[in-house]
Amino acid sequence: MVIYFTGTGNSRFLARSLAAALEDELVSAPELIKEGKAGDFKSEKPWAFVCPTYGWQIPRTFRRFIMDSHFSGSLQAYFIMNCGSGTGNAQKGIEELCTAKGFEFKGMAEIKMPENYIAVFSAPDEKTAEKLLRIGEKKALKVAELIMAGENLPEKKSGALGKFLSGPVNWGFYRFTIGDKKFRVTDKCISCGKCAENCMVNNITIENGRPVWHGSCIHCMACICRCPVQAIEYGKHSVGLRRYYLE
């Protein structure tokens, strides 16, 4: 079973490629998270968890979802993390998660995909994004071949920098960067409510026709990148930047 976590579509893209190659079931964690549900999953095939990298670690919301969910059948677990630059020492945290859940850790694959974190960075142009998608798809299919063969994924080694990024920097990222105070809506807003609909943690409500953020944002970028009229900005940084969303 392939279970994915996504805000703007990169992980879903990779998960679909994996599920098709493996002829396996595809599950959206955000849909369950939005409903306040944990999963009760059963599969005789290995588990494949696909997610983005948040501060050089697996997203805390996805980790919590996995911890709260029940898994029966296979004990083998593969992790596929997409990123803009790297995953640091994320593998260590995933190994700890697998131990806590009783999984047999079969490895973690790192796949670079188009940057979507426009609260801090910039999304690539369409040509560059398309190139990255094609490369990412090929890597996902290679991962699928290893999963079908029952082999471990190549070990992802991390040096001192990776440990620093996934440790102190990750802590600082959640402590000082993740938040919704900088989000704002412009006069372009058409009161469609898509931002609230797309928020997997139900952090947005529509009040007087405008979105209001309530302090539990996880920075998945779904609201700002999926706004059909680009009416949402993140401080001054996002002004004029290309939005990135993959159906």
Provide the CATH number for the domain around residue 201. 3.30.70.20
Note whether 100 and 200 are same-domain residues: no
- Tell me the residue type at 193: G
* Residues of the chain above pLDDT 70, percent: 100
pLDDT score recorded for residue 26: 98
In a domain, residue 23? The reply is yes
What whole-number distance in Å separates Cα of residue 138 and Cα of residue 132?
10
Q: Which domain holds residue 206?
A: 179-234
The answer to whether residue 157 scores a pLDDT higher than 90 is no
Note whether 216 and 149 are same-domain residues: no
Rounded to the nearest 10°, the torsion over CA 19, 7, 109, 1 is: -30
In a domain, residue 239? The reply is no
Among residues 173, 196, 217, the one where a domain terminates is 173
In a domain, residue 247? The reply is no
Note whether 91 and 54 are same-domain residues: yes
Average pLDDT over residues 189-214: 98
Note whether 27 and 146 are same-domain residues: yes
Note whether 156 and 197 are same-domain residues: no
Among residues 121, 147, 173, the one where a domain terminates is 173
204, 99 contact by CB (below 8 A): no
Note whether 128 and 103 are same-domain residues: yes
Note whether 142 and 160 are same-domain residues: yes
In a domain, residue 242? The reply is no
* Residues of the chain above pLDDT 90, percent: 98
**18-63 confidence digits (pLDDT tens):** 999 999 999 999 999 999 999 999 999 999 999 999 999 999 999 9
**79-130 confidence digits (pLDDT tens):** 999 999 999 999 999 999 999 999 999 999 999 999 999 999 999 999 999 9
Cα distances (angstroms) measured from residue 177 to each of 101, 172, 236? 29, 7, 15
First to last CA, the chain: 21
pLDDT range class, residue 156, cuts 50, 70, 90: confident
